[in-house]
């Protein structure tokens, strides 16, 4: 297992276009999280899945954002009608359920989105 994979690493898009990012978690991890990180800030929680169920969404996740995790494996994050304020690093992480001795987040390398 090579850890959490995110694709693409970088995406430049024009304002108003739709973009989709993919995250492949560590295979045995039940939980998958999406975070957004803007310059000079720590990551901010967007949403998380336990298996295929989306259990929580942040208020940061506007109606233009949608995330899926079909079959509880990989996940996609789609942003519709992108705006310049969406420019950020989008980080995916996965974890086992809490209570496991090996509980802890493993982050991917992120997708850097630039909206021009």
Partner 1 sequence: AQSVTQPDIHITVSEGASLELRCNYSYGATPYLFWYVQSPGQGLQLLLKYFSGDTLVQGIKGFEAEFKRSQSSFNLRKPSVHWSDAAEYFCAVGGMEYGNKLVFGAGTILRVKS
Listed ranges 21-29, 59-67, 72-80, 98-106: which one lies at the site for partner 1 (CB under 8 A): 98-106
Listed ranges 19-27, 63-71, 73-81, 89-97: which one lies at the site for partner 1 (CB under 8 A): 89-97
Residue 110 backbone zone (phi > 0: left; psi -120 to 50: alpha; other: beta): left
Applying CB under 8 A, among 22, 26, 80, 105 the residue interacting with partner 1 is 105
Q: Interface with partner 1 includes 80 (CB under 8 A)?
A: no
Listed ranges 18-26, 68-76, 80-88, 106-114: which one lies at the site for partner 1 (CB under 8 A): 106-114
Q: Interface with partner 1 includes 25 (CB under 8 A)?
A: no
Pairing of the two strands 10-13 and 111-115:
parallel
E strand intervals along the chain: 5-7, 10-13, 19-24, 31-37, 44-50, 53-57, 65-68, 75-79, 88-95, 106-107, 111-115
Query: Cα-flanking dihedrals φ and ψ of residue 86, to 5°?
Result: -80, -10
Binding residues vs partner 1 (CB under 8 A) = 4, 6, 31, 33, 40-45, 48, 55-56, 91, 93, 95, 97-99, 103-110, 112
């Amino acid at each position: 297992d090579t850890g959490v994979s995110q694709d693409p690493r970088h995406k430049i898009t024009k304002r108003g276009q739709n973009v989709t990012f993919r995250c492949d978690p560590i295979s045995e991890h039940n939980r998958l999280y999406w975070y957004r990180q803007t310059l000079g800030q720590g990551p901010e929680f967007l949403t998380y899945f336990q298996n295929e169920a989306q259990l929580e969404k942040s208020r940061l996740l506007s109606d233009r954002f949608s995330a899926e995790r079909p079959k509880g494996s990989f996940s996609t994050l789609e942003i519709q009608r992108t705006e310049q304020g969406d420019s950020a690093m989008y980080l995916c992480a996965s974890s086992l359920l809490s209570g496991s001795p090996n509980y802890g987040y493993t982050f991917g390398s992120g997708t850097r989105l630039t909206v021009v």
